[in-house]
Amino acid sequence: MEPHERQAAWEELSTTYADRRDPDGSDAALIDDLLDRCPPDPTIVDIGCGDGARTLANLPADSIGVDFARTGLSLAADTVPDARLVQADMRQLPLAETVADGITAYHAVFHVPRTRHPEVYAEFARVLRSGGILLSTLPGGRFETVRRGWMGGEMFFSAPGRDRTLAQLRTAGFEILATPTATDPLGSSTEFVLAEYTE
């Protein structure tokens, strides 16, 4: 899928995804681990925020929610009215360098082609301050596919595998702190990575 096709898919499916996913779960609780490692009153960027219920609503009130789809951001504006919302591609964030103390990226990076994941992690590193914390989904498998019938539409998924993802993060300047497993919005379990930007 080309970027405009992926964006169109999310515009179509954002409301369905918000309606079907559980707003609670142990992956939301992982945010406390991120915040514990951040300074007081941190600036947090939530990548792929969607409707905001799963992650953005659990972050400090003025956190920044970034999403590809305007539909998701419209939902987030109702769910988390104090958040700052930005429509953008995660590979080119309209944010200044070293502006963030933390980044969350739940179920987001694997919607970008896996060959472009290093660009995503480099962009995360650009906007994080030294010592900033990343909390992101860690896909276990290696795959690239369009799932037809997903949420009643179609969606692109792509990942290079767990070990390669961790290697890409280290190349971008991250130190891996932990890889906890938690429940995901659709009721299964997912591994996450907590990493510190050290450069």
Q: Where are the domains of the chain?
A: 3-197
pLDDT band at 19 (very low <50, low <70, confident <90, very high): confident
User: In the predicted model, is pLDDT for residue 135 greater than 80?
Assistant: yes
**Residue among 145, 134, 170, 147 nearest 42 (CA):** 134
User: In the predicted model, is pLDDT for residue 80 greater than 80?
Assistant: yes
Which option is the CATH number for 3-197: 3.80.30.20, 3.40.50.150, 3.40.720.10, 1.10.3720.10? 3.40.50.150
Cα 58 from Cα 30, distance rounded (Å): 10
Which of 55 and 186 is assigned the larger pLDDT?
55
In tens, the pLDDT along 41-52 reads 999 999 999 998
Provide the 8-state DSSP code for 115.
G
Query: Residue 17 half-sphere exposure, CB side, CA atoms within 13 Å?
Result: 26
> What number of other Cβ atoms are within 10 A of residue 145's Cβ?
9
Q: Where are the alpha helices (DSSP H) in 55-195?
A: 70-79, 117-127, 162-171
Average pLDDT over residues 68-72: 92
For the ranges 25-29, 105-109, 184-188, the maximum mean pLDDT occurs at 105-109
